[in-house]
Amino acid sequence: MSKGYFHRVHAQTPTRFWINNPSLDELEKSIDAGAISCTTNPTYGSKLIKTEPDYIRGIIDEELTLSTDDEVVADRVAMRATERLIARFLPLFEESGGSQGFVTLQSDPRKDEDADEIVQATMRYRSLGPNFMTKIPVTEAGMKAMALLIGEDIPICATEVFSIDQTIAMCDLYEKVSKQTGKSPPFYVTHITGIFDEYLARLVEREGIDISPEVLAWAGCSVARHEYRIIKHHRYRTTMLGGGARSTRHFTDFVGGDVHMTINWSTAQELIEAETAVEGKIDIETPPDVLGELLDKLSDFRKAFSSDALPVEEFAEYGPVQLFRNNFIAGYEHLLREVAARRADALVPPA
């Protein structure tokens, strides 16, 4: 793998590869392929039920003997599944002087509107290791939680970002709190490009909006590149982390930028097996007529691309954020159902 795609990307550009929600086999393959850090999300337990059922059920059964509360068990299972990743990336964290080897963990998505719950969960997870990174949505509640956690010097992945206003609000908050507290923990803003494209495609189909697939295909990457340029223009002390990829272009379209991109192993493998050329595309400009049509026909694109278009109090209700969160809730509830089923099978009394 020494001359594989991601190794070449790392050698020729500042773009970096993170792996998302890996199984044990995918974890080892991704590190061999050049992954420098790892993201998980609330669907991780659901994925492991499918890919490593004996492993995750073994953890569930152990935790069932320690708590009568299924929600506590699910939280502990998520921690322990992430702990395996944290341990595996710890050597890279140490060798890099703390600049690589991070592993993110996000708490119960059903409680995303409770800043206190987010803070409490982060403080629990902090014990997992020095390379733990808390993952929190850029909503009003999430920002309140992050304002407290910046002062605790905890690495932060600000996620569920689909708009320029979310990016600017979160980066400004980080700069403000960092100045007040003197703390500057590693800080990543995660733009969810593929899910944004998915959301708009569903919207166009549902409402019969007259816009071609070729024009629509520019939407997510146009917003993300605009976000990247704003971060660089304002010299925000953050790294843009691309997420929510739904195709290889949601990685390749950002190559050449000082960005980190997290993708599933299936997407990474596709790039490797295709012997993809390393081609810088971060500076590609959206054709003016394409951008004009997107802005004219799609109000949700305008909210994403324009500044002062989406107030902080509306972040959580923004359509793409809701779609992404619903995916997370469905995955987390799958884990909760598995916990309940294992408890019933073992005749362990519930709370």
Domain CATH for 283: 3.20.20.70
Amino acid at 189: V
Which residue is it, tokens 């605009």? Answer: 226
Does 127 map to a domain?
A: yes
Neighbouring CB atoms inside 10 A of 63's CB total 20
Neighbouring CB atoms inside 10 A of 299's CB total 12
293-350 residue pLDDT tens: 999 999 999 999 999 999 999 999 999 999 999 999 999 999 999 999 999 987 655 5
pLDDT at 351: 52
230-260 residue pLDDT tens: 999 999 999 999 999 999 999 999 999 999 9
Does 351 map to a domain?
A: no
Does 125 map to a domain?
A: yes
Does 287 map to a domain?
A: yes
Among residues of the chain, what percentage have pLDDT more than 90? 97
Domain range spanning residue 186?
5-346
Around 279, how many Cα atoms within 13 Å sit in the side-chain half-sphere? Answer: 10
3-state secondary structure of 40: coil
Return all residues near 214 (Cβ < 8 A) that are at least 6 apart.
none
55-78 residue pLDDT tens: 999 999 999 999 999 999 999 999
pLDDT at 1: 39
pLDDT at 346: 79
Does 138 map to a domain?
A: yes
Q: How many angstroms separate the CA atoms of 179 and 193, rounded?
A: 30
Concatenate the DSSP letters of all residues of 123-157 into one string. HHHGGG-TTEEEEEESSHHHHHHHHHHHTTT--EE
157-182 residue pLDDT tens: 999 999 999 999 999 999 999 999 99
Q: Look at the chain and report how many structural domains it folds into.
A: 1
Q: How many angstroms separate the CA atoms of 209 and 18, rounded?
A: 35
pLDDT at 102: 98
> Helix 24-33 vs helix 5-12: angle between axes, to the nearest 10 degrees?
40
Does 37 map to a domain?
A: yes
Q: Does residue 2 register a pLDDT over 70?
A: no
Does 163 map to a domain?
A: yes
Does 207 map to a domain?
A: yes
Locate the DSSP E strands across the chain: 16-20, 37-39, 103-105, 132-137, 156-161, 187-192, 239-243, 259-263
